[in-house]
Amino acid sequence: MTPFEAATHADPYGYYSGLRRQSGLLFDAELGLWIASDARAVEAILGHADCRVRPLNEPVPPALAQGAAGRIFGRLMRMNEGPQHLLPRVAIAPALAAVGTESIADRVSRVVGTLDNPFENLDELMFTLPVCVIAALIGLPSGRLQDVARLTRDFVACLSPLSDEAQLGKANTGGARLSELFSALLSDEGGSSGFLRHVRNGCEAMAGDDHETLVANLIGLLSQTCEATAGLIGNSLVALYRNPQLLEDLQSEPMYVADLVAEVARYDSPVQNTRRFVAKRCTIGGYVLEAGDTVLVLLASANRDPCANPDPDSFLLNRAQRRTFSFGSGRHACPGQQLALAVASEAILAWLHRQPASLASPCRWRYLPSLNGRIPRFYPDQETAQ
């Protein structure tokens, strides 16, 4: 198995454990990259100033360079270091942190009512619902939310190296359309949401009210939400399908759903790995990494490191001092973590509450093709899969 295959393998965790036993940081000559697999190495790489989110000579992947998707990609905080990272982050992260969980519960229930059968059509529950909730929070009008969720799915194709030309074309069209929608929203002072006012105050305080960067990073909130939260909801459903007793317990005691989602985020991360690119020769964990080296950072493996989480292969709702690397760490750590956990918990709660047929009849699943995401796609039992 390679660490890229591991992301969508039925059970990659024995393989990760073998890597950790060899060395928390090792060079894989065949793949031509470093692999960080234990908690200490993952934290060291993500915290290191010379381990950057993009290769120095390639701020935007060449396949995207000419289109609307590339113009957005090049401005995302996720894809930048220095001021281009810090400026949008300082404006946006506090606004995300200020969102109360009660308002998320309310938004989820409102959006659920507008979707096409999200409790049987799990794709709607996993992908459409979270993006609609974040789009509504930002202030996009309710009549546009589902369109925005579809455009976001088109746009996120530009983030995957597996996408073909047709998908990149759709990513450009989706990115361009989302840019128009957010530009219109930003020019409509009257329609501004509390969230957007919070973000704009942060931009002005930083003297960084760059319109295009703001638009790109608002789109970035939707694209970061899309697949990762779909995976979090999907892997929570997988945990319940795999453990009928757990499902029964949560049906009678739904207050533990937030614990379920938090443990799923650790145990079966929707984001299995991320990458870093070495900008300057540096020494990490006793190894010398050269400028130009690539490091594959196995977040899902660090979650199972017994030094970070005792008894790491047990699924424990009441795990004490849980350490979760699935949301990254260091300067690029996910600012949407609490929001994502809240949205996913509300989605699972709503699903349990409705008691849909998909709850009673066993479902099968297959992971969507990806080098880093672990997102199940569900099929009725008779159809196919794992």
Alpha helices of the chain — where are they, by DSSP H?
A: 3-6, 13-22, 39-47, 68-73, 83-97, 101-112, 122-123, 129-138, 145-156, 165-187, 194-205, 211-242, 244-252, 257-267, 299-302, 337-354, 357-360
Nearer to ligand HEM, 64 or 296 (CB): 296
- Residue range at the interface with ligand HEM (CB under 6 A); choices 154-162, 166-174, 264-272, 285-293: 264-272
Report the alpha-carbon distance of residue 179 to residue 198 in Å, rounded. Answer: 20
Selected binder of ligand HEM within 151, 232, 261, 289 (CB under 6 A): 232
Q: Footprint of ligand HEM on residues 39-58 (CB under 6 A)?
A: 53
**Residue 355 region by backbone torsions, left for phi larger than 0, else alpha for psi between -120 and 50, else beta:** left
Q: Is 224 in the site for ligand HEM (CB under 6 A)?
A: yes
Token pair 């490091």: residue: 295
Nearer to ligand HEM, 86 or 246 (CB): 86
Cβ 374 to ligand HEM shortest distance, Å: 10
DSSP 271: B
284 has which bridge partners?
287
Q: Is 326 in the site for ligand HEM (CB under 6 A)?
A: yes
Q: Phi and psi of 278, rounded to 5°?
A: -80, 125
Q: From the CB of residue 8, how many other CB atoms can be counted at a distance below 10 Å?
A: 19
Residue whose C-alpha is closest to residue 48's, from 323, 310, 331, 328: 331
Nearer to ligand HEM, 216 or 271 (CB): 271
Q: Is 159 in the site for ligand HEM (CB under 6 A)?
A: no
Cβ 6 to ligand HEM shortest distance, Å: 16
- Residue range at the interface with ligand HEM (CB under 6 A); choices 22-30, 168-176, 208-216, 223-231: 223-231
Cβ 364 to ligand HEM shortest distance, Å: 23
Evaluate the CA torsion angle 195, 198, 202, 203 in order and state its sign: positive
Report the alpha-carbon distance of residue 157 to residue 366 in Å, rounded. Answer: 19
Q: Is 59 in the site for ligand HEM (CB under 6 A)?
A: no
- Cα angle: 363, vertex 367, 370; to 5 degrees: 165
Q: How many helices (H) and strands (E) does the chain have?
A: 17, 9
The count of residues interacting with ligand HEM (CB under 6 A) is 29
Kindly write out the interface string for residues 177-216 of this chain, putting x where it contacts ligand HEM by CB under 6 A and - elsewhere: ----------------------------------------
- Residue range at the interface with ligand HEM (CB under 6 A); choices 152-160, 187-195, 330-338, 374-382: 330-338
Selected binder of ligand HEM within 340, 349, 350, 363 (CB under 6 A): 340
Cβ 42 to ligand HEM shortest distance, Å: 10
Tokens of 368: 């969507």
Q: Is 334 in the site for ligand HEM (CB under 6 A)?
A: yes
Cβ 191 to ligand HEM shortest distance, Å: 21
Report the alpha-carbon distance of residue 259 to residue 261 in Å, rounded. Answer: 6
Residue whose C-alpha is closest to residue 358's, from 119, 123, 128: 119
Q: Report the interhelical angle of 145-156 vs 211-242 (nearest 10°).
A: 90
Q: Is 271 in the site for ligand HEM (CB under 6 A)?
A: yes
Contact 198, 98 (CB under 8 A): yes
Cβ 29 to ligand HEM shortest distance, Å: 24
The closest residue (CB) to ligand HEM is 336
Residue whose C-alpha is closest to residue 296's, from 28, 113, 97, 34: 34
Nearer to ligand HEM, 328 or 356 (CB): 328
Kindly write out the interface string for residues 77-116 of this chain, putting x where it contacts ligand HEM by CB under 6 A and - elsewhere: xx------x---x---------------------------
Q: From the CB of residue 32, how many other CB atoms can be counted at a distance below 10 Å?
A: 9
Cβ 67 to ligand HEM shortest distance, Å: 21
Q: Is 327 in the site for ligand HEM (CB under 6 A)?
A: yes
Tokens of 191: 């329609």
In the complex, the residues that contact ligand HEM under the rule CB under 6 A are 53, 77-78, 85, 89, 134, 220-221, 224-225, 228-229, 232, 265, 269-271, 274, 299, 326-328, 332, 334-336, 339-340, 343
